[in-house]
Amino acid sequence: MKVLRFIFSILLVSFALNGETKTKLPCNSLIECDKKADLTSIHRKKITFLSTGIEEFSKDADMKLLISLYLKRTRSIILEANGETGYTGEIVLKVSHKPEYKATQLKKAEEDILFVEQNICHCSDDQKKQIEELKVLHKNSQ
């Protein structure tokens, strides 16, 4: 009986020590995060993939790629804040958010727009048009 308790104690301590490892990321590189975001229509998932890419893998990334990710994330954040889910099918699913949540999300979108505007010299003409569209969408969402 004492042997079983001893083994159980060792296993319990082992699991406790190993349980502090990092949670698994939804993607393993900036490119993979971008591809996974493109493969889903669900805005919450897009935001998760793009945020992971930006937060975890953007340190030495090419600015042009980063701007592309920021623009995609901004669009999804604004649409999601406005209640669009991105779910497709027979039923269009739309949700309503508390005003505080919506304001927080729109603030995040505003920060993304500011980042892109600060790096406008790296933007293509198409991306500059996207920035202007996102600014209008953001303004109309408030």
Residue 67 within a domain: yes
Q: Is 94 helix (H, G, I), strand (E, B) or coil?
A: strand
* 7 domain residue, yes or no: no
- Answer whether 0.85 is exceeded by the pTM: no
| 50, 72 Cβ separation under 8 angstroms | yes
Q: Characterise 74 by phi-psi region: left (phi > 0), alpha (psi -120 to 50), beta (else).
A: alpha
CA distance 59 to 121: 19
**pLDDT tens per residue across span 48-66:** 999 999 999 998 889 999 9
Identify the pLDDT of residue 73.
Answer: 98
Strand, coil or helix: 92: coil
On whether residue 125 sits in a domain, the answer given is yes
Position 100 scores a pLDDT of 93
The answer to whether position 5 is within a domain reads no
DSSP string, 119-137: TGGG--HHHHHHHHHHHHH
Low-confidence ranges of the chain (pLDDT < 70): 1-23
What does residue 60 show for φ and ψ, rounded to 5 degrees? -110, 20
**Angle between helix 30-39 and 63-81 (nearest 10):** 40
Q: How far is Cα of residue 23 from the mean position of the Cα atoms in its chain?
A: 16
- Residue 64 domain-assigned (yes or no): yes
Tally the domains of the chain.
Answer: 1
Domain that holds residue 93: 23-141
In a domain? residue 72: yes
Does residue 100 lie within any of the structural domains?
yes
